[in-house]
Structure 1
Amino acid sequence: MTVLITGGMGFIGLHTTKALVEAGEDVVITYYQTWREPSFIKDEFGKRVTVEKADVSQPAVIEELAKKHNVEHIVHLAVPGVAALSAYEDYRVNMNGLIGVLEAATNAKVKRLSLASSIATYHSLPSGPYKETDLLPVQSANPTETFKKAWEILSFHYADRTGLEVIAMRIGGIWGPLYHSMMNLPSRLAHAAYNGTEPDYSRGIPFAEDTGDVCYVKDCAEGIKLIVTKEKLEHRIYNISSGIAVTNQQLVDAALSVEPNAKLSLQPGKSPAYKENNFLDMSRAESELGFVNKFGPKEAMADYIEWLKEGNEQ
């Protein structure tokens, strides 16, 4: 099987490519401006992995690539940067991109299109655990929550009208090697611990007892691989994350277990934004896909810091 990953040169895309190649699949990944050759996959470039320079915001480009490489499955990971666009441009890029990949997949007779949705779809719920069957409010607090909800509704309607199989992957807070924006806390802690510096708390010092469902990128890639390679799926929506509410203090402790002299501190207690059971329910992915997280906070932190010690900047 050949899989096309839009945004395949991205953080999650490259790890997913590795997971798919190890499962025996051929992969086509796209890039537009950023080229990366991480050690864990570069030897497959030009072999099991084909790299194509392409502006995937253009529907004809995705369709052309899918037909050229006889693609059976598209994983759509390409997204605009957070807070990178004006309101108008955000709407135009997100919605045109969605319509384009749906039409491209249909015209190229792709078997399945898997869309990167997000844990952000649950953001406006008061507490977890968050299940795929939860009813989500129309009101949304941020662009990611807004567009991912809209994508799911519109994609499933399109699928009903065309027969295209569309899967929404509600992906948790992903971190690990190649993560570059440093927006999530565990990545900032890993870099600070390795570099012997204080974490970047320019947006405020985190609270020790606040929690989040953070998932190591290698586990996330495994989840996406299972969705791609599963012959028949029973549902349209799958959570992909750790399924655990990890406290910020646990993340600090994980970093300190690797680098005991690291300069890591937090505010005590819980923030006003604290939520009970703030994690994704993983029972559907576990029972139907056989998904299992292999990296807890300590194992993930040790693996990430070792990656940095090997000379990798991200």
Structure 2
Amino acid sequence: MILVTGGLGFIGSHTARALLDLGEECVLVQRREPGALPGFLVGAGGRPLVRTERADLGDVEALRRIGERHAVTGVVHLAGSVPWPPGAADPVGAAQDALGSLFNVVRAAAGRQVPRVVVASTIGVYAGAPGTLPGTAPGSGGDAGPDRTPEVTAPLGEDLPLPMTAGHAIPAFKKIGELLTGHLAAATGLDLVNARISAVWGPLGRPASPFVAVPQLVHAAARGTEPDLSALYAPARAGQGADLIYARDCGRALALLQTAPRLRHRTYNVASGRITGNAEVLAALNAQVPGAGLSLPPGREPGAGPDVRLDVTRLRQDTGYAPRYDLERAVADYLGWLRAGNPR
């Protein structure tokens, strides 16, 4: 039985589905009251394919009871461990609670002698590393062409030295978490694995991402509306893009990291390993939705960071991972999901 924290969330739901496909059973732990399961976690006659539990990760005894009740043999920790969103009345307490949730997950796993805990990290930890602009989040670019600029950096590998600084709370606490998992792995003997996840998109994701334009573009194509890109931190242009990974592929990569017989590294990039340009996304959508007429301004936004992608060699070699969704298949799948009446 694999315990997935944040298991009813965006990435957690897809990870649970992938674990089921690998023959594992899952218990999904969420702080909020479990709601309706997504359709791909429900079997014939409405039978849930997973078990669900409500628990606060600040309560280590609740986690221990869940571990005993379900005979947990592995953990995928996808819930926050970050004081987010900001604005807490007690920022010191919020930071303490965020790190405490990671400690409690590891403490409960150690008590059961769980062999492996996979901990979610982020592509954002690479910001400011060699090959990226200081203080920026990597992930813009495309292939050569009138609306696509060539990649200008080598893929970023897990051994790349990272700066101690971070311009955002999420990568800051993910860096702290990675350092802690290294220490705790040595101290407890657990196999603690960091998964640096790139930009994820697909069913159950945010309709409006602040980081990439693809969800807004797909929703607009499915609804027959103009895309609202106001939520983006930076304007989107056709010549920009990101190392995108489709949600179902991301879930499968995390499931393989949990179930692989042996992992040789502490940290793995979970990404596509290539830049998907906005121009490619527009072409795929306009081909599958005739008349959509989606477009973005050509070229790149002035001052945009360099094009970067993550090296996924480790992931491929140690787990056998290979993406199952190219861009055209992913776009078709996401459009079908939205047209079936799913709001996100």
TM-score range, shorter chain: over 0.9
The corresponding residue for 2:85 is 83
> 1:193 maps to which residue?
221
How far did 1:220 drift?
0.5
CA separation of 1:283/1:75 partners in 2, compared to 1, >3 Å: closer, same or farther?
same
Alignment match, 1:56 = 57
Q: Which runs of 5+ in 1 are unaligned?
A: none
Q: Is the 8 A contact 1:211 1:274 kept in 2?
A: no
Provide the alpha-carbon RMSD of the alignment: 2.0
Partner of 2:311: 281
Q: 1:268 Cα deviation (Å)?
A: 2.0
Please, which of 328, 331, 335 is the counterpart of residue 301 of structure 1?
331
Between the aligned partners of 1:89 and 1:292, the Cα distance in structure 2 is 41
1:3 aligned residue: 2
Q: Could you say which residue in structure 1 is the equivalent of 2:13?
A: 14
Q: Deviations over 1:48-88 (max 9, x none)?
A: 52111222232222222112211110100111685354343
TM-score, length of structure 1 as denominator length: 0.93
Q: How has the CA–CA distance of structure 1 residues 222 and 273 changed in structure 2, closer, same or farther, with 3 Å as cutoff?
A: farther
CA distance in 1: counterparts of 2:330 and 2:123, whole angstroms: 20
Residue 37 of structure 1: how far off its partner (Å): 1.5
Superposition pairs of residues 109-258 of structure 1, within 5 angstroms: 109-125=113-129, 126-127=131-132, 128=153, 129-180=155-206, 182-183=208-209, 184-202=212-230, 203=232, 205-258=235-288
Alignment of structure 1 residues 17-96 onto 2, 5 Å: 17-33=16-32, 35-43=35-43, 48-79=49-80, 82-86=84-88, 87-88=91-92, 90-96=94-100
Q: CA deviation at 1:36?
A: 3.1
Deviation at 1:180, TM superposition (A): 2.9
2:3 aligned counterpart, secondary structure = strand
Q: CA deviation at 1:182?
A: 2.2
CA shift for structure 1 position 152: 0.3
SS at match of 2:194: strand
SS at match of 1:115: strand
Q: Give me the TM-score of the superposition, normalised by structure 2.
A: 0.85
Q: Aligned pair count?
A: 313
Counterpart contact for 1:76–1:114, Cα < 8 Å: yes
Unpaired stretches in structure 2, ≥5 consecutive residues: 133-152
Structure 1 stretch displaced more, 9-18 or 59-68: 59-68
Moved over 4 A (4+): 44-48
Q: Which amino acid aligns with 1:259?
A: V
The 1:106/1:176 distance shift into structure 2, 3 A limit, reads: same
The match for 2:147 is: none
User: Which amino acid in 2 is paired with 1:141?
Assistant: G
Does 302-311 or 104-113 show the bigger shift?
A: 104-113
Whole-Å separation in 2 of the counterparts to 1:82 and 1:207: 29
